[in-house]
Homo-oligomer: A and B are copies of this chain.
Amino acid sequence: MQLPDYDDVCRAHERIAPWIHRTPILTSATFDAMTGARLFFKCENFQKTGAFKSRGAVNAVFGLEEADAQRGVATHSSGNHGMALARAAACRGIECTVVMPETAPRAKVDAVRGYGGQVVFCAPRNTARQQTLDEIVAASGANVVPPYDDARVIAGQGTCAKELLEDVEDLDIVIAPIGGGGLISGTALSCRALSPHTQVLAGEPANADDAYRSVKAGERLVEDAPDTIADGLKASLGELNWGIVIRDVDDILLASEEAIIETMRLIWQRMKIIVEPSCAVPLAAILHHPERFADQRVGVILTGGNVDLERLPWL
């Protein structure tokens, strides 16, 4: 099993630069005061398609050989990766099919279709979506672009932390959410290469804590259909992602559902930006462990802003 490395991240960054935003980094006097830390928020909610997923998707799509590309791409996704892949495919002018759980927020389904992607629904379980995808690929020959367990995707997601470390000096800690592990493993590659003293932490919903338990157990544990408001973090760690997480991630911190919702609401209220529940997990973990973060310079990756504005979790 060949893990991607920082060279792959650098090649990805060159390849995707014309198609993504270099997103801004915001600070918040309120959250600095609440945490005692100095926080730098990397705002991937402002990224193309509203999430960091555009980085990995564009890298995978534009890395395909021309003959392969003509058969199109396909994936399964609870939403943001599907949207990102649909747009990346549209940018290259090829077809895209996305398998989505029936429970996916309507806004995300509409958005995949809005970018020209074709949506196929499946039961909301990790096992069901893989099976549905296999059937589609058998029929069409499409190139599968997995949402996280893929070297091209990991390298693409790593460009986010690369930008963060280039733009903010001397970060003591970088923290990102962990679900399937695409973002955190790419983040770890960039941190280890660019700033070896920087701790790499992951925030995970306590209700979907497969990564936390995997690290404790020393082996990758898979969880089917966890229940959390952070719908972007329901997936279990992929194989490649596990290989990087167990090597390069320093710790995983958990956040309760209540803390995720309250922190999401606080981010909206105080920073005036729209973030998804998944985004709130790292800050919720920071607020729950103030002693670990006091007086530290902390980079926090805000992953996306695709929320169904009809259904806010605190209403």
Residues in B whose Cβ lies below 8 Å from that of A309: 265, 268-269, 312, 314
Q: Tell whether A272 pairs with B269 under 8 Å between CB atoms, given A309-B312, A309-B314, A315-B315.
A: no
Let me know if B272 and A46 touch, CB within 8 A.
yes
How distant is A48 from chain B, measured CB to nearest CB, in Å?
A: 8
Residues in B whose Cβ lies below 8 Å from that of A24: 24
Instruction: Assess whether A176 is interfacial by the CB under 8 Å rule.
Output: no
Instruction: Assess whether A146 is interfacial by the CB under 8 Å rule.
Output: no
Residues in B whose Cβ lies below 8 Å from that of A275: 272
Residues of A that sit less than 8 Å from B by CB: 24, 26, 45-46, 50, 107, 265, 268-269, 271-275, 305, 309-310, 312, 314-315
Partner of A268, one of B26, B274, B315: B274
Q: How far is the CA of A29 from the CA of B39 in the complex (A)?
A: 29
Residues in B whose Cβ lies below 8 Å from that of A273: 272-274
Q: How far is the CA of A273 from the CA of B50 in the complex (A)?
A: 11
Question: Mind listing 17 A-B residue pairs with CB under 8 Å?
Answer: A24-B24, A45-B272, A50-B272, A107-B269, A268-B274, A268-B309, A269-B309, A272-B273, A272-B274, A272-B275, A272-B305, A273-B273, A274-B274, A309-B312, A309-B314, A310-B314, A312-B312
How distant is A113 from chain B, measured CB to nearest CB, in Å?
A: 15
How distant is A301 from chain B, measured CB to nearest CB, in Å?
A: 15
Q: How far is the CA of A271 from the CA of B46 in the complex (A)?
A: 7
Residues in B whose Cβ lies below 8 Å from that of A271: 46
Residues in B whose Cβ lies below 8 Å from that of A268: 274, 309
Residues in B whose Cβ lies below 8 Å from that of A46: 26, 271-272
Residues in B whose Cβ lies below 8 Å from that of A315: 310, 315
Residues in B whose Cβ lies below 8 Å from that of A269: 107, 274, 309
Q: How far is the CA of A275 from the CA of B271 in the complex (A)?
A: 11
How distant is A112 from chain B, measured CB to nearest CB, in Å?
A: 15
Q: How far is the CA of A272 from the CA of B49 in the complex (A)?
A: 11
Q: How far is the CA of A274 from the CA of B309 in the complex (A)?
A: 12
